[in-house]
């Protein structure tokens, strides 16, 4: 992503603050006044931000309110198809879609579950929401864990002084014990979505007249 100039970054930050405070985005004129900046200057900055992909900005003509918003990649929670070997940040780069869940964002990601190691609690195809910053504090929390360099899997996680115990919900799968240093906790379970709910949320946000 292209770097921002000083003013562009100030505009972008103020815009993000406004969205957090009020939930919506301001008028251009009001916003320009707020920034102590001329309307035309602000517009130029927004056009630059739009060209660089930081905002969605689309003028609609004289007198008409323009479209101004953040792109889904910046406000939605990334939904990952599967998490292959490699760092999590890389998988987040090519998310298959984004969930527009306000309140969450920076510390969260979602995973479309493959397999049934947590069945029947979590089904194949469910989209599970995780916090990627927190470490599990209680024993028995569901976590997205990576053993050494393998794929990420979903398990109940128990901690002993020198190892993690990875416990599936499905009794057909084995419980395994792994030394602490071989385990990376990629995220702590927060909730899930199943079925047609997904289609309603994972809409690409298209903009209309």
Q: What is the contact surface with its own copies in residues (CB under 8 A)?
A: 22-24, 26-27, 64-65, 101-104, 120-121, 123, 129, 169, 189-201, 203, 206-209
Q: Is 65 a catalytic residue?
A: no
Q: Which of the residues 29, 102, 132, 155 is marked catalytic?
A: 155
Quote the CA–CA distance of 191 and 83 in Å, as a whole number: 18
Neighbours of 204 (CB within 10 A): 7
Q: Closest separation between CB of residue 73 and its own copies, Å?
A: 18
Task: List Cβ<8 Å contacts ≥24 apart for 41-47.
Answer: 41/7, 42/11, 45/7, 45/8, 45/11, 46/11
Q: Is 117 a catalytic residue?
A: yes
Residues 96 and 112 sit within 8 Å (Cβ to Cβ): yes
Q: How many residues make contact with DNA (CB under 7 A)? A: 25
By C-beta, is 48 or 79 nearer to DNA? Answer: 48
Regarding 59 and contact with DNA (CB under 7 A), the answer is yes
Regarding 209 and contact with DNA (CB under 7 A), the answer is no
Cα 89 off chain centre by: 11
Quote the CA–CA distance of 129 and 111 in Å, as a whole number: 7
Quote the CA–CA distance of 48 and 52 in Å, as a whole number: 6
Among 1, 21, 22, 61, binds DNA (CB under 7 A): 61
Backbone φ and ψ for 112, nearest 5 degrees, come out as -85, 115
Q: Which of the residues 14, 41, 117, 139 is marked catalytic?
A: 117
By C-beta, is 30 or 176 nearer to DNA? Answer: 30
By C-beta, is 63 or 174 nearer to its own copies? Answer: 63
Helix 28-35, helix 6-22: angle, nearest 10: 120
Q: Closest separation between CB of residue 62 and its own copies, Å?
A: 12
Question: Which of its own copies, DNA, none sits in contact with 59, Cβ below 5 to 8 A by type?
Answer: DNA
Question: Which of DNA, its own copies, none sits in contact with 28, Cβ below 5 to 8 A by type?
Answer: DNA
Question: Which residues are marked as active site?
Answer: 117, 155
């Amino acid at each position: 992503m292209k770097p921002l100039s000083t003013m562009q970054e100030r505009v972008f930050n103020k815009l993000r603050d406004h969205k957090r405070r009020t939930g919506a985005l301001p008028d251009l004129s009001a916003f320009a006044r707020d920034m102590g900046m001329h309307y035309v200057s602000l517009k130029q900055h927004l056009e630059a931000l739009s060209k660089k992909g930081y905002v969605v900005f689309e003028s609609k003509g004289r007198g008409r309110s323009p479209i101004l918003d953040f792109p889904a990649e910046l406000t939605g929670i990334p939904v990952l198809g599967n998490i292959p070997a490699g760092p999590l940040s890389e998988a987040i780069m090519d998310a298959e879609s984004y969930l527009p869940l306000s309140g969450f964002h920076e510390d969260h990601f979602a995973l479309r579950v493959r397999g049934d190691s947590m069945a029947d609690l979590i089904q194949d195809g469910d989209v599970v929401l995780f916090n990627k910053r927190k470490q599990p504090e209680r024993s028995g929390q569901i976590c997205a864990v990576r053993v050494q360099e393998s794929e990420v899997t979903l398990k109940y996680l128990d901690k002993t002084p020198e190892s993690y115990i990875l416990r599936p919900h499905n009794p057909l799968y084995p419980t395994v014990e792994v030394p602490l240093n071989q385990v990376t906790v990629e995220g702590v379970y927060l909730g899930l979505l199943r079925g047609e709910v997904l289609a309603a949320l994972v809409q690409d946000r298209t903009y209309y007249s």
